[in-house]
Structure 1
Amino acid sequence: MKLTIVGGGGFRVPLVYGALLEKKDRLGLEEVVLHDIDASRLERIGAVLDGLAEEHGERLPFRFTTDLVDAVQDADFVFCAIRVGQLEGRVVDEDVPLGLGVLGQETTGPGGICFALRTIPVMVRLAETMAKHAPNAWLINFTNPAGMVTEAIQQVLGDRAVGICDSPSGLCRRVAAAVGRDPGDLWFDYFGLNHLGWLRGVRDGSGKQLLDGLLEDDARLETFEEGRLFGGEWLRSLAMIPNEYLYYFYYAADTVSAIRSSSAPRGAFLLEQQRAFYAQDGQPGGEALASWRATRHDRERTYMAEARNAAGDESEHEGDANGGYEHEAMAVLEAIALNSRAVLILNTANRSALPFLDERAVVEVPCVVGRAGPVPMAMGQVPSHARALVEMMKDVERTTIDAALLGSRELAVKALSLHPLVPSVNTARAIFDGYRRRLPALQEAFA
């Protein structure tokens, strides 16, 4: 089996390599190729991987390339996690709307739209390269905004493009712990779009509904992030537990105030942190691994910090030894390669999972995954307010995809204007023009 990692110089690649070390014999991995447009980043991450291999006592061979065709040629699976515009672009994504009193966040709101505008054309070119040079490969996409990107590349690769996110599974594991059960013994009724989903039910093998009791127990709700973030009163009003990213919709003004009063948005923090990490090139494997782990600890500690600050939650982000996008990616790869028919929450074409959306709309729902890829499960009707928000955001996503592929300022402004977190058309125009002024790639694409 040949596995290619596009974005192979990315900071989180060691997490994937660590997961691969555990699975290489079971999966029959023969070749791992790391692709990146920046050779120096590949070298830096390669040293970290050497350190992991030394620590593990066994090595999974890998090689580097900056040639995309070489990287994907005859691949069986392609993992992709790229950041078009790098962290400098993220800083702009967050800063421009905040200057106008609007949420500045990486994947939600205007920041997510701008991120998508410059990412989707690059991802479509990757999909076209795969269609030509690796037509039988599966593209497992972690690139954000994951739902929009997956829908765009499915126009080229169809169902062989699968989007993943660790937020839904992380929520499910935390809820399982709160009810004192093993998540493997439970069924999680989760539906929505990427970073816009709700957990509306948890059942055990006998069919007993466990979520109702949890929602009535404030003490147990306080034991996990989403319970503290949203609070028992609001969760009982919804009769569901939202994905953490819905905090930005339900508490938008509070979040904007929290971000603007902080010393720096998270993107600026990560930019300085990772600049320092990548500048330490030349360290041997053990030292590189130690440096990476220290940097990762500070990175994970600040995840969703702006939402926690707005909610008055002073605790740090709860790491998950069984979570992370690397575990989600490996679960999809295993399920397809071994035809295990595992149930995973994924981003894939709707078919008929959510009956109010068309069959090609990419949704985030439980899927049965085997050799034929993900088959989404029917979720039926959903609460009216969730349906309305999903329908609105799907329209925003599709307008953004069209704007990105056509280079249309009119459609980009329309997508921003339709987003419920943008207060007016004039604000949308100001946000887009602010992005164009500060991002040369957008100036060129939207000339």
Structure 2
Amino acid sequence: MKLAVVGGGSTYTPELIDGFARLRDSLPIEELVLVDPAADRLELVGGLARRIFAKQGHPGRIVTTSDVDAGVADADAVLLQLRVGGQAARNQDETWPLECGCVGQETTGAGGLAKALRTVPVVLDIAERVRRTNPNAWIIDFTNPVGIVTRALLQAGHKAVGLCNVAIGFQRKFAKLLDVAPGEVHLDHVGLNHLTWETGVRLGGPQGDDILPRLLAEHGDAVAEDLRMPRAIVDRLGVVPSYYLRYYYQHDAVVEELRTKPSRAAEVAEMEKQLLEMYGDPALDEKPELLAKRGGAFYSEAAVDLAASLLGNGGSPYQVVNTVNNGTLPFLPDDAVIEVQAAVDGSGAKPLSVPKLDPLYAGLIANVTGYEDLALQAAVHGGRERVFKALLAHPLVGQYAYAEQLTDSLIAHNREHLAWA
């Protein structure tokens, strides 16, 4: 089995490598190719990756290359974990929206649109290269904004599934609170990428007893603290919103908070410098503890599970993924991409049925889906007017004057990445 990781020079990669090494029985990789244009980073990450495999006795071969075509040739699956423009572009995404009082975040709001505009054309080009070398390969997208990127891939006819670590993070945390094995926890997870709610927590599978009321009654303070939301919000909803709902439910407070501290991108950039120094140490043969603060917790477990299922090597029968709606949420277009529990096997991901949603959630999902449709049109076709309409449609922008100002700022800060600008 051959897997390729495009963006393999990311400081995330050792987390992924550690999972591949530990879970090799689930995903017996013979060749792993790390693909990245940044040769200096790739050398450091690739060296650590080989040492991790060696320490854990993994027999697979790890290859590094800057040549996308060579890297993805004959791959059974290709994982995408790109950041076009690096942390510098992310830092801009997180700062210029604050100038007009809108949240600055890398996947949500105006910053999220900027990331989509930079990312979608690059991902589609890579996917076409994959299709030319191996049209049967699965593409697993971990590149944000996952929902928009996955929708772009699917609409272009690629075999793609989107992956986010929010759900597996909740699964692991809930399992710890409940003192049960993670595999016993099944989430009624519904929404769009970075716009989801846990409407049920079941033990033993989709038909298990819903113990969410008990979880909130006994551990509500811990859940709310993890979300960085007041417990009153969680109690009144009676469900567990994802962390990203902070940007909607507490928008103005979050904007003030973001204005008073360094951007997350600045923090991560400093962390990455330290990590890369560590990765260059020839004595290091395991992922360092600092990597846990980088983000992406449990990404490796989720990626291994998904790849194993898609490639016919077992894997969990049900997984939370980003995939095409096809009537699962009847108030959305069939070609929308949703993030829900799905049955996953070699034929792809098929969403499980979802009970009728409260308008409180369905309305916001429909609104953001409309924005994502406009965002994808802007990313694929370009043009200032398309960018403006996407921003005007976003519930975190929504005002004409803000949309005008943000459109100009977005284009000015991203001109080098926008072929049409």
Could you tell me whether the CA contact under 8 Å between 1:150 and 1:162 is conserved in 2? Answer: yes
Deviation at 1:207, TM superposition (A): 4.2
Could you give the per-residue CA deviations for residues 125-145 of structure 1, whole angstroms, max 9, x where no partner exists? 111111211100000110000
Worse-matched range after superposition: 3-12 or 348-357: 348-357
CA distance in 2, matches of 1:407, 1:294: 41
Number of matched pairs: 418
Query: What residue number does 2:217 align with?
Result: 216
Aligned residue among 348, 370, 386 for 1:395:
370
Deviation at 1:282, TM superposition (A): 9.0
Could you give the per-residue CA deviations for residues 17-38 of structure 1, whole angstroms, max 9, x where no partner exists? 1111223355332211111111
Deviation at 1:168, TM superposition (A): 1.4
Deviation at 1:374, TM superposition (A): 1.1
CA distance in 2, matches of 1:265, 1:21: 33
Q: How do 1:378-393 residues align onto structure 2 when only pairs under 5 Å count? A: 378-393=353-368
CA distance in 1, matches of 2:18, 2:278: 21
Could you tell me whether the CA contact under 8 Å between 1:131 and 1:156 is conserved in 2? Answer: no
Query: What residue number does 1:312 align with?
Result: none
Could you tell me whether the CA contact under 8 Å between 1:140 and 1:164 is conserved in 2? Answer: yes
Residue identity in the other structure for 1:114: A
Could you give the per-residue CA deviations for residues 337-356 of structure 1, whole angstroms, max 9, x where no partner exists? 22556110000011222121
Query: What residue number does 2:299 align with?
Result: 325
Deviation at 1:394, TM superposition (A): 0.5
Q: How do 1:291-302 residues align onto structure 2 when only pairs under 5 Å count? A: 293=288, 295-300=290-295
Q: TM-score, normalised by structure 2?
A: 0.93
Q: How do 1:93-112 residues align onto structure 2 when only pairs under 5 Å count? A: 93-112=93-112
Residue identity in the other structure for 1:247: R
CA distance in 1, matches of 2:179, 2:290: 32
Could you tell me whether the CA contact under 8 Å between 1:116 and 1:148 is conserved in 2? Answer: yes
Deviation at 1:439, TM superposition (A): 2.6
Worse-matched range after superposition: 123-132 or 56-65: 56-65
Could you give the per-residue CA deviations for residues 301-351 of structure 1, whole angstroms, max 9, x where no partner exists? xx9xxxxxxxxxxxxxxxxxxx52111110001112225561100000112
Could you give the per-residue CA deviations for residues 245-274 of structure 1, whole angstroms, max 9, x where no partner exists? 111110111111111111x11111222332
Could you tell me whether the CA contact under 8 Å between 1:92 and 1:435 is conserved in 2? Answer: no
Query: What residue number does 1:46 align with?
Result: 46
Question: Residues 204 and 8 (structure 1 numbering): CA distance in 2 closer, same or farther, change over 3 Å?
Answer: closer
Q: How do 1:42-441 residues align onto structure 2 when only pairs under 5 Å count? A: 42-158=42-158, 160-205=159-204, 207-217=208-218, 220-224=219-223, 229-262=228-261, 264-275=262-273, 277-278=275-276, 280=277, 283-287=280-284, 293=288, 295-300=290-295, 324-336=298-310, 337-340=312-315, 342-441=317-416
Question: Residues 295 and 357 (structure 1 numbering): CA distance in 2 closer, same or farther, change over 3 Å?
Answer: same
**SS of 1:216 mapped into structure 2:** helix
Aligned sequence identity (%): 33
**SS of 1:144 mapped into structure 2:** coil
Q: TM-score, normalised by structure 1?
A: 0.87
CA distance in 1, matches of 2:153, 2:265: 26
**SS of 1:338 mapped into structure 2:** coil
Deviation at 1:43, TM superposition (A): 0.5
Question: Residues 432 and 275 (structure 1 numbering): CA distance in 2 closer, same or farther, change over 3 Å?
Answer: farther
Worse-matched range after superposition: 119-128 or 264-273: 264-273
Residue identity in the other structure for 1:330: V
**SS of 1:119 mapped into structure 2:** helix
Worse-matched range after superposition: 430-439 or 375-384: 430-439
Could you tell me whether the CA contact under 8 Å between 1:6 and 1:80 is conserved in 2? Answer: yes
Deviation at 1:421, TM superposition (A): 1.1
Residue identity in the other structure for 2:389: K
**SS of 2:354 mapped into structure 1:** coil
Query: What residue number does 1:4 align with?
Result: 4
Question: Residues 227 and 57 (structure 1 numbering): CA distance in 2 closer, same or farther, change over 3 Å?
Answer: closer
CA distance in 2, matches of 1:403, 1:175: 38
CA distance in 2, matches of 1:421, 1:48: 41
Question: Residues 30 and 184 (structure 1 numbering): CA distance in 2 closer, same or farther, change over 3 Å?
Answer: closer
Could you give the per-residue CA deviations for residues 212-266 of structure 1, whole angstroms, max 9, x where no partner exists? 233334xx1123356663333222221211011111110111111111111x111
CA distance in 2, matches of 1:253, 1:282: 39
CA distance in 2, matches of 1:327, 1:107: 22
Could you tell me whether the CA contact under 8 Å between 1:120 and 1:405 is conserved in 2? Answer: yes
Deviation at 1:359, TM superposition (A): 2.0
Question: Residues 386 and 33 (structure 1 numbering): CA distance in 2 closer, same or farther, change over 3 Å?
Answer: same
CA distance in 2, matches of 1:380, 1:195: 20
Question: Residues 423 and 363 (structure 1 numbering): CA distance in 2 closer, same or farther, change over 3 Å?
Answer: closer
Could you tell me whether the CA contact under 8 Å between 1:171 and 1:226 is conserved in 2? Answer: no
**SS of 2:95 mapped into structure 1:** helix
Deviation at 1:373, TM superposition (A): 1.6
CA distance in 1, matches of 2:254, 2:25: 46
Residue identity in the other structure for 1:272: E
Could you give the per-residue CA deviations for residues 362-410 of structure 1, whole angstroms, max 9, x where no partner exists? 1000011112121111103101011010001001111011001111211
Question: Residues 95 and 216 (structure 1 numbering): CA distance in 2 closer, same or farther, change over 3 Å?
Answer: same
Could you give the per-residue CA deviations for residues 37-74 of structure 1, whole angstroms, max 9, x where no partner exists? 11111101112213323432445311111111111112
Query: What residue number does 1:311 align with?
Result: none
Question: Residues 227 and 12 (structure 1 numbering): CA distance in 2 closer, same or farther, change over 3 Å?
Answer: closer
Could you tell me whether the CA contact under 8 Å between 1:338 and 1:370 is conserved in 2? Answer: no
For the aligned residues, what is the CA RMSD?
2.2
Residue identity in the other structure for 1:257: E
